[in-house]
Amino acid sequence: MPPKGRDHNPSGLGRAIINKKIKDARRMQESGLYVTDVDPTSRLKSVTQERDLDEFLNTAQLAGTEFTAERRNVKVIQQSASSSQNPYLLNEQEEKKTLQRHRENKQRLRVPRRPPWTRGMTTAELDQQEKAAFLSWRRGLAELQEEEHLLLTPFERNIEVWRQLWRVLERSHLVIQIVDARNPLRFRCEDLEDYVRDVEGPEGEKGTGKGIRRSLLLINKADLLTSYQRYVQRLFGSSKSLIILGSRLWADHFDEQGIQYAFFSAANAAALQQARRDALAQEQQGNAVPQGDHNDIADEDDDIKEPSLSDRNHPETESDSDEESDSEDYFSADDEPEEEQDPRARVLTVLELEDLFMRMAPDLSAFTDSNGKLPQKLQVGLVGYPNVGKSSTINSLLGEKKVSVSSTPGKTKHFQTIHLSDSIVLCDCPGLVFPQFATTKADLVCDGVLPIDQMKEYTGPTTLVVKRIPKTVLEATYGLSIKVRSKEEGGDEQVTAESFLISYAIARGFMRSGQGNPDEARSARYVLKDYVNAKLLFCHPPPGVSETEFNEQTHQNALRRVQGKKKAPVTRVGKDADTFVAPNVGPTIDGSSTANSGGRTQVLDAEFFQQNASLAGHAFVNGKAFSRSKQFPHQNSVTNDGTPVGPRQARIASVLANQDGGVNKHHKKMKRVKQRSGKGYD
């Protein structure tokens, strides 16, 4: 083979990209003017949790100063955990004390501000000033944790992600903070609203004036609230007071706080738009059918004309609707008469939301730039936690998919501007985990803030799920039979995370490799994703409202939706196996239920109290006594119908038993595979 010749075209795409980056880096170093991005080639990655060594090195890098190692006293604290209390959760008294301390130190929890800047500053000065301000903010949060012994949520620790927020706030005229309707207080950052009022001028430059921007709280996923929770006033008995549930209570709460808010559902808006597209496509397809083909189609459908007419009135059967509701839309808001709807708590449509943006917008004449030019369009910034629906809201506003959407938090990496209309421009900010007080990290996993696939501890979040969702709803949703420990077995007859995950793993066949035990960690990830995706729906009530009363109608709808669902197997062992243990369901002899008793107790009672189980002095075969001693192979044998073996059958059995001559046969073949009998399993 001849040697490879010289490449006559050494330049290529990869070499051109590398040369372009080198030239841009050299030009940025030589220039002393202000630029927007200090290092556009750096990888923007959200960092919410760091190891101690990584946090130490990143802090030293931000400080930019030399340091010397200093020994400090290290104290290791081990919390004693009881068998009944999850060590990753707080008990009722500890939770009350923690919430009280959260309210006392609420003002010390702030969002990192961008330091004041001017156009005359160099790139190096601005970069150093931003890093110093960010390091001071990190130091303040660390002091708050050490002095007050408070637990903060895993917040964003990468300065590049916060720079994206600074850019969005500086270029936006109206800032929309999107929260989840299932827990608005968790996803709302109060200090962000103060920061929006503190941003100066049209571009954030120092000395150009404050308080010209406005903010709006958009409560997304409002379709997860039922009609009773949003509009209807329920009267619990004649002697009890009137209790108002749902969005109306949230509306009263936000009105008292002086917050501008609106309810919206990106999922419902996208579903309506898709339905319109499907209807339009069917209409166009029907109009495109040639005239000559109508007779052929009519001849083929003569036998099903009547069913087709009934299908128009009832396009879906009960089973089809149940399957679709299980797989796609788990919950949807019921339609209410307009006279019973509260206009404050009504879910807005896409057009109504666009009109609200224009009404809430400030006067654009206050945003003139240094050249005296007015902005041509309204800049609307969308800010919020990961996985609250920012990108889905943009897609519903546009009517088609323009932004990448994912259930994994942190899908959007850079802020991006999208032209919605001739007068509105949307600016999507990456999802930010703001620093907030938290009791445990399990709450953040259940709220969808922290990625479920990256969690290391699953018992805490699963314990919260089984506390919030009743046992009947869990069993009906997944078709399970969850075993609970009775009081005689040392339990409290309550569903635990372990019992629920074991039942789920057995029903789905999730087993650990090499052990055969239920894989609880894998089951927890499936259950928590169903909880975040609202298959297991739980809505946090406003302050002062009972969680049980607030979610009562939601749980009833969930039970009604899964009626008639097939039960999953409670064990993977066959009934005829030697290791089979009957499940703890079903009535006893006297008709009482044994659902609360343990499995061992039921098996023992069934064996002791079964009919005709008394011990006899002699063995019987069809009422005739016989001796248990057996001298021949056919002695004391019975046929398939239970009768004793006759003389002829006895002689045949004797010949068959002695035909081997008493010599054992040994199979000397090579065992190429492991031999398993499979006895005891289906």
What separation in angstroms does the CA of 135 have from each of 46, 204, 276, 490?
17, 21, 51, 52
HEC string for 456-469:
CCCHHHHHHHHHHC
Q: Which of 39-43, 432-436, 455-459 has the lowest mean pLDDT?
A: 39-43
Q: What's the confidence (pLDDT) of residue 142?
A: 87
Q: What's the confidence (pLDDT) of residue 233?
A: 36
Per-residue pLDDT band for 484 (boundaries 50, 70, 90) equals confident
The domains found in the chain, sorted by start residue, are 166-283+321-433 (3.40.50.300), 447-572 (no CATH)
Could you read off the pLDDT of 179-191 as tens digits, one per residue?
988 888 888 888 8
d(CA 607, CA 609): 6
Per-residue pLDDT band for 303 (boundaries 50, 70, 90) equals very low
Per-residue pLDDT band for 283 (boundaries 50, 70, 90) equals confident
Q: What's the confidence (pLDDT) of residue 181?
A: 87
Q: What's the confidence (pLDDT) of residue 1?
A: 52
Better-scored residue on pLDDT, 44 or 518: 518
Q: Which of 28-32, 424-428, 604-608 has the lowest mean pLDDT?
A: 28-32
Could you read off the pLDDT of 353-368 as tens digits, one per residue?
999 999 998 888 888 8
HEC string for 191-248:
HHHHHHHHCCCCCCCCCCCCCCCEEEEEEECHHHCCHHHHCCEEECCCCCCEEECCHH
Per-residue pLDDT band for 319 (boundaries 50, 70, 90) equals very low
Cβ contact 248:227 at 8 Å: no
Per-residue pLDDT band for 548 (boundaries 50, 70, 90) equals confident
Residue 112 has pLDDT above 80, yes or no: yes
DSSP string, 279-293: HHHHHHHHHTS-TTH
Could you read off the pLDDT of 531-545 as tens digits, one per residue?
998 899 998 888 888
And the tokens for 151?
Answer: 């637990």
Per-residue pLDDT band for 560 (boundaries 50, 70, 90) equals confident
* Residue 638: φ, ψ to 5°: -130, 160
β-strand pairing of 347-348 with 378-384: unpaired
For the chain, the distance separating the N- and C-terminal CA atoms, rounded to the nearest angstrom, is 62
The listed range with the strongest mean pLDDT (116-125, 242-251, 616-625) is 116-125
Residue 344 has pLDDT above 80, yes or no: no
* Residue 380: φ, ψ to 5°: -115, 115
Q: Which of 467, 460, 393, 390 is nearest to 432 (CA)?
A: 390
Q: What's the confidence (pLDDT) of residue 671?
A: 58
d(CA 461, CA 443): 7
Residue 62 has pLDDT above 80, yes or no: no
Q: What's the confidence (pLDDT) of residue 308?
A: 36
Average pLDDT value for the chain: 73
Could you read off the pLDDT of 260-275 as tens digits, one per residue?
889 898 888 888 888 8
Half-sphere exposure of 571 (CA within 13 A, CB side): 16
**Sequence-distant (≥ 6) Cβ neighbours of residue 36 within 8 angstroms:** 167
Could you read off the pLDDT of 362-405 as tens digits, one per residue?
888 888 877 778 888 899 999 988 878 888 888 888 885 555 55
DSSP string, 67-108: ----------------SSS-TTS--HHHHHHHHHHHHHTGGG
Instruction: Taking the CA atoms of 16, 17, 18 and 19 in sequence, report the sign of the dihedral they define.
Output: positive
Q: What's the confidence (pLDDT) of residue 440?
A: 78
Q: What's the confidence (pLDDT) of residue 652?
A: 79
Cβ contact 228:234 at 8 Å: yes
Question: DSSP 3-state assignment of 177?
Answer: strand
Compute the average pLDDT of residues 31-46: 55
Cβ contact 86:414 at 8 Å: no
Residue 40 has pLDDT above 70, yes or no: no
Better-scored residue on pLDDT, 508 or 335: 508
Cα angle value 484/517/604 (rounded, 5°): 45
* Alpha carbon 187 to its chain's center: 14
Cβ contact 158:199 at 8 Å: no
Residue 501 has pLDDT above 90, yes or no: yes
Per-residue pLDDT band for 629 (boundaries 50, 70, 90) equals low
Cβ contact 234:549 at 8 Å: no
Per-residue pLDDT band for 324 (boundaries 50, 70, 90) equals very low
Q: What's the confidence (pLDDT) of residue 234?
A: 37
H-type alpha helices, 533-669? 547-550, 552-561, 599-609, 647-658
And the tokens for 369?
Answer: 């730039």
Per-residue pLDDT band for 5 (boundaries 50, 70, 90) equals low
Q: What's the confidence (pLDDT) of residue 65?
A: 54
Q: What's the confidence (pLDDT) of residue 521?
A: 93
Residue 328 has pLDDT above 60, yes or no: no
Per-residue pLDDT band for 480 (boundaries 50, 70, 90) equals confident
